[in-house]
Amino acid sequence: MFGNLIKNELILTGGPIGTTFAVYLIMSAVFLLAILAGVVPVLAGVLLFLASLGQSFVVLGLIVVNYYRSMSGRTAYLTHTVPVPPTHHYFSKMIVSTLYMFLSQCTMLGVFWLANQAFMRNGGDIQAELTRIFSLLFESAIDSMGISGLRPLLPILGLLLILLSCVFSCATYFFAITLGTSKFFRKMGVVGPIIVYFIQSSIMQVLVMLAMFTIPLGLLISLNNLGGADSVSAEWVNKSYAWWFFDQMQNNTGSTYIGAGAYIVQPILLAVLVVWSIRVVKKHSGVR
Amino acid sequence: MIQIENLSKNYGSKVVLDDISATFRSGKIIGLLGPNGAGKTTFLKILAGVAGDYKGVVRVGGFEVGPKTKEITSYSPDCEYLPGWMSLNQIAKVYSDYFSDFNSERAFMLAERFKLDPKQKIKNMSKGMQEKIQLALTLSRKAQIYLLDEPIGGVDPASRAAIMDLIIGEYREDAVMIIATHLVSDIENIFDQVMFMDNGKISLFEDVEKIRMDKNMSVDALFKEVFACSAT
Amino acid sequence: MTLDNHFQDKSPIYLQLINIFTVRIAGGEWVAGQRVDSVRDLAMHFKVNPNTVQRALVEMEALGLMNTAGTSGRYVTSDQESILRARHNLAREELEEFIKAMTQLGYSRDDILQLLEEHISN
């Protein structure tokens, strides 16, 4: 049954999202060709960037609207008469939406990479220079984080991070809709989810910042030369970000911290969002 | 088949269902009658399992409302709930996936009887056509509980006759049908029992033939008498 | 819609169905020994509850105008005498109604007979 839910969820959102991808890919192809041919390459680059941004917003919008409609709107009547526990709906939508969002982000990255290649091939002009600077910055960032040993794993790591961020944003939006259409907010209509979203994301920001500054766990990075990070070490230390400020005031070494508390708190917040959403979905008081 | 004990539900401070208790047996067609806002729709939503957060006990086929009862409950709400961009062809596939008792040949046969095009998108259909599609889907399941909310509300008299034939034709001794409507006179003869609802309470639950025998009046006449007072 | 689903408000549907069925049998529309339509078909035809039709049919059996032959269904009785009796009963009821109404209008026995004679020969 869960398989059927996933299948129909893929079909339900697949149409409009597929169309969006198709339109985006056609537009990208045109702009990439323009860059390659050197016809108004700057304009093409800007348009490509805007199209990419637009695409990811449209996909996000479709995901959000679909969730709202099928969990709280009209089609919720069909959703909630299906003989499965309500949590199955939540998880099937979570999986499919995350997948589509991930595809959207990956497509965008792919297009950016192609654009990069196109600019490189065109060569010699400002764009290529910019691209080179960006990749240099990227390299040094990798070095400074002390993860150059993990180089071959980097693409996988990157994709994993993107996937996680997709899970996170789906959980966030679904939470806002679920709670925002529940009994307490039902009179507000569409405003309910928006209010919940803003309150919830502000609270999350604050919590993440707090965790970063107060949890005594950080990544110590010592730099020998500020400009070129040639000799770099990184190690875990039991100090919070607040300690770093303190150290700075004491005016000692040139080493620096990254507060790691945020990375510990974020999965916890994610779990809280999911569990809370499920609790509300179970009562499914969101059907109008 | 359905046991309800002390069922109450409120939306905020508004009480929609007020301490309702009732029992519905198999083999009966029950008319749920009352003015708008009496609580009929909420009552059916709770039985169907699309509205939670109520007080009291609701048992369908011996189980608390949940996945088990949804398996045997076929529900047609009073609004258009099908995804607009889909056609009957597509929705029938979804129904087959979700409901093991769904018979798609029957759904197409009924659609043909209603002269509906299975390729037409729902959003391009009139309200009456959408109601017919919903009813065709709902009555193409071999369920034990049928919950129909205003099944003849938006259709012309000729279609009403066809819909009533459909309901009578689907009647089985092992199933119970609850039909909420405010169009009493058109449909009252197909009921075994009627339940009058007013302000979230049951004001009458009686055999139709007994009403005619004891009161010498039709359900429609009684309905008008009862609710004329509450309307003024 | 057919005309068959206009029922009176004041008496139970099943009694009205019995009356309709009896008229059909007595008038020969349903002939002796004929198979009666299924409960579902009759319910659809008259747009009434199947249980009500069932109840009326059971009463028809009790009146001796129908019988069930095992599982093969329900038939109009082959007993001509019962049918004739039912027919006479219906006719008598109609006549009684008619005479009552005419008497109320002040017609005498001879007046009624004369009027009847005239109307029938027309």
pLDDT at A220: 63
Selecting from B168, B216, B221 the residue whose C-beta is nearest the C-beta of C50 gives B168
Percent of chain A with pLDDT over 70: 77
**Which of A118-127, B108-117, C74-83, C100-109 is predicted least confidently?**
A118-127
- Tokens 């089609």 — which residue? A75
Any chain A CB within 8 A of the CB of B127?
no
Those chains having 3 or more beta-carbon pairs within 8 angstroms of chain A are B
pLDDT at B176 over 50: yes
Looking at residue B231, its pLDDT comes to 46
Q: How does DSSP classify residue B152?
A: T
Confirm or reject contact between B13 and chain A (CB < 8 A).
Answer: no
Q: What is the pTM of this model?
A: 0.83
Cα separation of the two ends of chain B: 37
Query: How many Cβ pairs within 8 Å bridge chains A and B?
Result: 65
Which residues does chain B have within 8 Å of residue A187's beta carbon, measured at their own beta carbons? 12
Domain spans, chain C:
3-121
- CATH 1.10.10.10, applies to C3-121: yes
Return the higher-pLDDT residue of A143 and B213.
Answer: B213
Chains that touch B (3 or more CB pairs under 8 A): A, C
- In this structure, the dihedral spanned by the alpha carbons of residues C52, C55, C56 and C60, taken in order and rounded to 10 degrees, is 170
Q: CB neighbours (10 Å) of residue B49?
A: 25
CA distances from C43 to A232, B223, C50, C51, C53 (A): 89, 23, 5, 9, 6
Q: Is residue A227 predicted with pLDDT exceeding 50?
A: no
**Across B122-133, average pLDDT:** 88
Whether C40 sits inside 8 A of B171 (CB atoms) is yes
Q: Which of A73-82, A135-144, A249-258 has the lowest mean pLDDT?
A: A249-258
pLDDT at A222: 57
Residue B123's CATH number: 3.40.50.300
Q: Is the Cβ pair C49, B169 closer than 8 Å?
A: no
pLDDT band at A127 (very low <50, low <70, confident <90, very high): low
Which of B53, B68, B85 shows the shortest C-beta gap to A283?
A: B53
pLDDT for A225 equals 46
Confidence of residue A219 (pLDDT cuts 50, 70, 90): low
What does pLDDT average to over chain A? 80
pLDDT digit string, tens, across residues A186-211? 777 778 889 999 999 899 889 988 88
pLDDT in tens, C75-122: 888 888 888 888 999 999 989 999 999 999 998 888 889 988 888 887
pLDDT of res. B24: 93
E strands present in C60-120: 66-68, 74-76
Domain that holds residue B27: 2-231
Position A229 confidence tier, pLDDT thresholds 50, 70, 90: very low
pLDDT at A232 (0 to 100)? 46
Whether pLDDT at B200 is above 80: yes
Closest CA to A67 of A258, A281, A282, A248: A281
Q: CB-based contact (8 Å) between A187 and chain B?
A: yes
pLDDT bracket for residue C56 (50, 70, 90)? very high
pLDDT-derived band of residue A138, with 50, 70 and 90 as boundaries? Answer: confident
Please count the structural domains in chain B. 1
- Dump pLDDT digits (tens) for A53-88: 999 999 999 999 999 888 888 888 898 899 998 889
Q: Which of A2, A78, A87 to mutate to test the interface with B (most CBs of B within 10 A)?
A: A78
N-terminal to C-terminal alpha carbon distance within chain C: 34
Q: Per-residue DSSP letters for B55-104? A: EEEEEETTEESSHHHHTTEEEE-SS--S-TT-BHHHHHHHHHHH-TTB-H
Residue numbers of A between 9 and 48 with CB closer than 8 Å to B:
11-12, 15
Nearest-angstrom CA–CA distance, C60 and C83: 11
Q: Look at residue A123 in the predicted model and tell me its pLDDT.
A: 56
pLDDT at A128 over 70: no
Mean pLDDT, chain B, rounded, equals 89
Q: What is residue A64's predicted lDDT score, i.e. its pLDDT?
A: 92
Q: Which of residues 86-105 of B touch A (CB under 8 A)?
A: 90, 94, 97-99
Q: What is the pLDDT of residue B118?
A: 92
**Is B12 an interface residue toward A (CB < 8 Å)?**
yes
Q: Which residue has the tokens 């944003």?
A: A169
Asked whether the predicted pLDDT for residue A228 surpasses 60, the reply is no
pLDDT at A44 over 80: yes
Chains that touch C (3 or more CB pairs under 8 A): B
Q: Nearest by CB to B221, which of C1, C9, C40? A: C9
Residue B111 half-sphere exposure, CB side, CA atoms within 13 Å? 24
Q: Which residue in B has a C-alpha nearest to residue A75's C-alpha?
A: B81
Q: Answer whether B190 sits within 8 Å of C7, measured CB to CB.
A: no
Q: Provide mean pLDDT across the span B17-33.
A: 93
Task: For residue B165, give how far its alpha carbon lies from the nearest alpha carbon of chain A (Å).
Answer: 25
Q: Would you call B157 an interface residue with chain C, using a CB distance cutoff of 8 Å? A: yes
Task: Calculate mean pLDDT across residues B6-21.
Answer: 88
pLDDT given at position A230: 42
Asked if B46 and B66 count as a contact pair (C-beta separation under 8 A), the reply is no
Please give the interface size between B and C, counted as residue pairs whose CB atoms are below 8 Å apart: 60
pLDDT at B78: 87
Burial environment of residue A147 by CB neighbours within 10 A (0 to 12, 13 to 18, 19 or more): middle
Long-range contacts of C31-34 (CB under 8 A, 24+ apart): C31/C76, C32/C76, C32/C77, C32/C78, C32/C79, C32/C80, C32/C83, C33/C75, C33/C76, C33/C77, C33/C78, C34/C75, C34/C76
Min Cα separation B82/chain A (Å)? 6
User: How far B84 CA sits from the closest chain C CA (Å)?
Assistant: 32
